[in-house]
A and B are shown apart, each in its own frame.
Chain A
Amino acid sequence: MILNRETLINLVLAALLLAVPFAADALGQPFYITLATRIAILALAATGLNLALGLGGLVSFGHAAFFGIGGYVAGILAAHAFSGEPLLFGLSGTKQMWVIWIVAAILSGLVGLAIGAISLRTSGVYFIMITLAFAQMVYYFAVSWPAYGGEDGLSILVRNQFPGVNTMRPLTFFLICYVVLLAALGLFALVRASRFGTALQAARQNEVRVATVGIQPYRIRLTGFAISAAVTGLAGALFADLNRFVSPSMLSWHMSGELIVLIILGGTGRLFGPLAGAALYVIFEYALGGLTERWQFFLGLILLVVVLFARGGLLGLLAGKAKHG
């Protein structure tokens, strides 16, 4: 099979993201490994949102809730493992990443199911506002919950563990995040091409048409929303481990907005859109942030240009219009 242009660009992006940390490691520049890890995790979170927003057309302005819930799962489980105090129902905490991931994904998915069940009864601006409102509820809940740090957040003293490797080594932790990202991208590609993905994308394009062939758009969207939430929650757990810190800022509406911005920058609904967007975003943040404190103003300008002149985002510019089969 001849590779099409988009696949080629995707491979280059994936290879670049992998190459940079190895180069940085060889040159003794761990900061750049952290930067690449940040890109991978933000891309993972945005890949989750891309399921809802890109495929389903569901503009969720509340995905920070799932990101933050994932982060707090990592923080709280680690804190209990550290102190030895039992958690709910006598269960103990854990420092095992893979357990944390599962809990984070399931809990975020369930919260996504609950929020989606109500929000998806609305559409358009109302949907945006109601998802925002739910996320703000979670945010204020975290702020006012002193047991886990409240406004000050919660530190993870030592990064959680993964069997057989030393997660405190930046390159190792990057590789863990990278593999999780690739797995999530694989899931996204599978879902997009599947029967479910067909129905989800059709519901975005034409809700009436989906109902007219006998498929309930609501059920399809709700399922998509929950999967989307689970993936973003998983990213939150990794993000907490990257920073070894989780605070309500992970739950704030800025975070929700950032995830949407990543997707628009990279290319909505494109497999590698979130990665392209996250890379652009983090590089801008780093490069412009070194020049001026007001780097977000310039980011805003760039976003404006993308929305006005390059609707398909970076991938749209590089690879042309998306093909849907």
Chain B
Amino acid sequence: MVEPVLQISNLVKNFGALRATDGVTLDLRPGEIHALIGPNGAGKSTLIHQICGTLRQDSGTVRFAGQDIGALGVADRARLGLGRTFQVSSIAPDFSGLRNVMLAVQAKQGSSFRFFKPVMRDKTLIDTAMVMLERVGLTARARVPAAELSHGERRQLEIAMALALGSKAFLLDEPMAGMGPEGSKSLTRFLDTLRQEAPILLVEHDMDAVFALADRISVLVYGRIIATGTVEEIRRDPTVRTAYLGDHA
């Protein structure tokens, strides 16, 4: 079996008496889109926070790209290649989209302690950033302040930043949230190609997108994974149907 890129084992996180993550074991294999679904309050956000490093697990391990990252901070995990987008897009609003991506490029080059060379005359930064913007289809909007970008464009911008990091895995937190039907469709097509770049852990409520994209689906309910399997297996699973899918399947 190919070694998974991301391997989460027996992860536990308590908030007081509440067990938000209850022994979660989950892996992400090369080339796949692994969707994580579950009702509101199931602990999806808590799990994501522990994967990307904003929260520390109480017990269990998180392995990424062959090493235990459970004790690392957000920036260190990102440098190892964990690319992430947020439920509410996270961008530097005063900067143009281009300069946002350039920030990611300079981080990837490992050189933020340069004080004198103007970035806007730095061809290596600009050219690399423009390639990333082109890949997500934002070339025409590159010089617009990020605050003025539409919801969908900000999502594309975040993905461009994750691409610029040379991510070994993408962690996408509800990328379809707030997108119109057209936006969802084109984003679905884009993510379908993105998996060739690196595997995607996709946390998503939009079942059409999940069923269209996912190679495997894990269902999180009350902090536990109640089922993991292919789209067909999950659709047929009786516990999943009662817990979550209802008549959607």
Contact = CB atoms under 8 A, between A and B. Distances in A.
A298 B115 CA distance: 40
A206 B93 contact: yes
A315 to B, nearest CB: 16
Given A202-B95, A205-B94, A209-B92, A214 B75 contact: yes
B145 interface: yes
B79 to A, nearest CB: 4
A324 B99 contact: yes
A1 interface: no
> Which one of B103, B114, B119 has the greatest number of beta carbons of chain A within 10 Å?
B103
Nearest to B111: A195
Interface string B17-52: 000000000000000000000000000000000001
B107 A215 contact: yes
> Which one of A190, A194, A209, A215 has the greatest number of beta carbons of chain B within 10 Å?
A209
Contacts of B62: none
Contacts of A209: 90-92, 100, 103
B84 interface: yes
A273 to B, nearest CB: 15
A179 interface: no
B115 A196 contact: yes
Interface string B89-122: 0111111101110111011100111111111101
A317 interface: no
Contacts of B91: 206, 209
Contacts of A194: 114-119
B169 interface: no
A270 to B, nearest CB: 13
A37 to B, nearest CB: 29
Contacts of B76: 214
> Which one of A190, A195, A213, A325 has the greatest number of beta carbons of chain B within 10 Å?
A213
A253 to B, nearest CB: 30
Contact of B92 (A196, A202, A214): A202
A184 to B, nearest CB: 14
B78 interface: yes
Interface in A198-228: 198-199, 201-202, 205-206, 208-217, 220, 223
A196 to B, nearest CB: 5
A325 B120 contact: yes
Which range contains the number of B residues in contact with the other chain? 35 or more
B75 A193 contact: no
B94 A324 contact: yes
Contacts of A201: 92, 94-95
Contacts of A319: none
A193 B119 contact: yes
Nearest to A227: B115
B74 interface: yes
Nearest to B109: A195
B60 interface: no
Given A194-B119, A220-B112, A205 B78 contact: no
Contacts of A13: none
Interface string A145-159: 000000000000000
B113 to A, nearest CB: 6
A220 B75 CA distance: 12
A213 B91 CA distance: 11
A198 B145 contact: no
Contacts of B111: 195
Interface in B63-80: 73-76, 78-79
A324 B106 CA distance: 17
B115 A216 contact: no
Nearest to B117: A194
B94 A199 contact: no
6 contacts: A190-B118, A195-B112, A205-B93, A214-B76, A324-B94, A324-B96
Closest 7 CB pairs of A and B: A214-B78, A214-B79, A193-B118, A211-B74, A205-B92, A213-B107, A213-B104
Given A195-B125, A212-B161, 12 more contacts: A193-B120, A195-B114, A198-B106, A202-B100, A209-B100, A212-B84, A212-B90, A214-B107, A214-B108, A220-B112, A324-B95, A324-B145
